[in-house]
Structure 1
Amino acid sequence: MMARAGTSGKHPNNIERDIMRHLGLPLPIHWITVPVLSARDRKTRSELRLPYLMPHELVHYLHETQQVQIMQESVNEFWAHAAQHTDWAAHHEGFGTMPLGGLQMRYPLMNLREFICLGPETLNPVMEVLSWSFGQLAAGGRHYLIEMRGDWKWQKAFFCLKPHSQATMTSGMLGFEGGAYPSLNLKAWNSRLFVVFFEVVLKELVARDTAAGNELLCKELKLASAATTAMCAFLAGMEASPRYMSDEQCRYLHESMQSFLELYEVLIATSLARGTARWKAVPKHHLAWHLVEEMDRSHYNVRFYHSFLDEDYIGQWKLLAQSVPRDLLEYRCLTRYLLRLGTKGGI
């Protein structure tokens, strides 16, 4: 077979295509033409035939090959808890059906180089097709889309949201945001470790009374230490709590986050009284409070739908993208992923 690929080597550009046909991909690849920026100069408008997978075909394949296996007891527990703590689950058409997401593997439907993407203009055409496919899942297979995952940058592109005032988070960057606020920008996973480190350092500074003689600075250090301890308590409580939480566990997380946010507000006022721009109010603090309110209502631990696994998966996909030639990158990444899906269930 290898010798015959590309008409016995006479047409080398067709060798990859012939090998893929012989190996047999587990799922059909579909194509749609979308507007993009040229990959050569990143300025000229162009068109790209974008390959993608249909969700209803992917889910059917995963079930047929038994790559998704969830104990029925877990399914029953999920719906029983949701029915008890939400006003939608008991009346949902999919009540009792098996979830596909959660801690399962990630299954990409398409991939696209960010620097050629025109935002909604590029994404909307394929999203319309995917929306139809998700509808087929609900109609024929009783599978329902109940959560849109992804980081803020892609959510903004998909849903045409307004720009966010939060700086781009890149690992290991220490500087002054806006030329005033000291900022150490870390990825979410590493930031949890640094919060613990900061708690140790701040407690030591307070214990040594390093701000003796400066009443406002002494107050600021004590507030910073208390706020950091409150955040550590929230993170530790969230990680120690199970998926379905008790009233006591929800109350602990609520009180920890409330303490942090209240202390942080006082920190802002204290630093301004000292004439120092040190603590900046950021929109994500508001979001954190909504997460706590959601846990109060649903008794469902938000840790079980965080994006850490998604970010790890993106890192694996990056390695895949780096291993293929740049020409037809989207197609080559998808075909190589499908070959792995057919042999061992994914990346």
Structure 2
Amino acid sequence: MKYFWIFIVVAAGIVFPSLVFSQSFEFDNPLAEQRADPWVHKTDDGTYYLIATVPEYDRIVLRKANTINDLKNAQEKVVWNKHKQGVMGHHIWAPELHRIDGTWYIHFAAGEAENIWNIRMWVLSNPSKNPMEGEWKEEGQIKTERESFSLDATTFEHKGKRYLIWAQNVRGGNQGTALVMSEMENPTTLTGPEVVLTEPEFNWERMKYNVNEGPAVIKRSGKIFVSYSASATNHNYCMGLLWIDEDADLLDVSNWSKSPGPVFYTNEELKRYGPGHNSFTIAEDGETVIMIYHARDYKEIQGHELSDPNRATRARVVRWTESGFPDFMQYEGD
């Protein structure tokens, strides 16, 4: 793993010029109150779907709209409910919606009704053209080499191969989560090997909890970027970044680089606390990259942060440096 200080914004607050500015978009933030871990999927016909964690952690919901801003007032539909007993019975977290070979898939995390922290990754499928319709089938658990706490699966295709990146406890005990990647045989099955891309090592990744989670993939300028979230889900929550050359072996960890500082984090002046667990989508112009993420507008939380319902979904434009790296504009609003 290589570390480079080449970002527009890092923890020290260093700002460099030379930005490539995208078209200006204004978003009616928050797009969705009390919706965390947001994922927006844009179809080829320009339709946007929003899927996210609800604060009751008991169901999976979808919204559909023709624009990103229209997701705010779009009617929401429950497409799946937790089990009353056994697996998939608690902590329904971080669903992602993907269209793969003509079938819709939802990858999500769930605990057991009787053992709520026994969290694993699960998959639903739906052959309907519209994921708001049709029947969602339970495809079962994504089995990993390590039988341990695992969540936040995201999948992407590169050069004809499909990959999964997820967060998992790889060291046992209370050692937190690392990001792991594997090639996939199909949208529900890993082929291995399973390689650890990053573990919490810097202070900003170890605030209250040792956490690397919530990966999201974006390709640009000959590179693959993976944003991820770190630390507890209070005001310490923040985002880091991994990247690799698109022609390199993705399963060779030595080919990956990592930001030694967070690239997006709390800004008290803007009342943006604990931003993270993002996804990427494309704006209506077909080219501007939009980051969808959650944050709170206050710092002090009563009780445990996971019991606070007010992580809200927001959207913002991603700008790019002349060297082709994403800039998340730490000091701008939204």
TM-score interval, normalised by the smaller of the two chains: under 0.3
Higher strand proportion (structure 1 or 2): 2
Higher helix proportion (structure 1 or 2): 1
